[in-house]
Amino acid sequence: MWWKRIALLVTVGLAVAAVFAAESASFKVVVHRDSAVTEIGVGDLSRIYLENTATWPDGSEATPVDMEQSTGLRKEFSKAVHGRNVDAIKSYWQRQIFSGNGVPPMEFSSEADVLFFVSEVPGAVGYVSDSTPLTSGVKLLRVRD
């Protein structure tokens, strides 16, 4: 019966790992500290990131920034906000570029770079992991379903 104990331990271990993976991948959306926008619908946020609209609901210019495509944070953001995986979004941008209809948001390799950019550019929006402390130049943007 030793194998039942090992199977139980493996099952519990996998469940705990899945919980930690899900928690570590969560994100929050941030905007420039002077932004008048405090909340946005997920569909409106997706339209800003896909550059289907270039402005915030209040009419001010929106400047989205992304994490690099290989990051887990980008994968979760793409799925949660666009309802598609990173490869689908990459394909979307390839079509947009080829047809001359736009270019994708700038990509950053670190969350610190995202926070710095958003703090320096009025109208900027980015995302960081839920555990990342916010800097003084940004504020949290509430995203509604």
Indicate which CATH number applies to the domain containing 44.
3.40.190.10
The whole-number average pLDDT for the span 96-112 is 95
Residue 81 confidence (pLDDT): 97
Q: Is residue 92 part of a domain?
A: yes
Q: Is position 31 within any domain?
A: yes
pLDDT level of residue 19 (50, 70, 90 thresholds): very low
Task: Establish if 20 belongs to a structural domain.
Answer: no
Query: Is position 62 within any domain?
Result: yes
Owning domain of residue 65: 27-144
Q: Is residue 37 part of a domain?
A: yes
Q: Report yes or no on 6 lying in a domain.
A: no
* Structural domains counted in the chain: 1
Name which residue leads in pLDDT, 7 or 83.
Answer: 83
Residue 16 in domain:
no
- Establish if 91 belongs to a structural domain: yes
List of residues 6+ apart from 41 with CB closer than 8 A: 143, 144, 145
39-63 pLDDT, tens digit per residue, is 999 999 999 999 999 999 889 999 9
Torsion region of 123: left, alpha or beta (phi above 0 gives left; psi -120 to 50 gives alpha): left
pTM: 0.81
- Residue whose pair of structure tokens reads 């331990």 in the numeric block: 9
Residue 102 pLDDT greater than 60, yes or no: yes
Stretch 108-117: mean pLDDT:
97
What tokens were used for 74?
């980008």
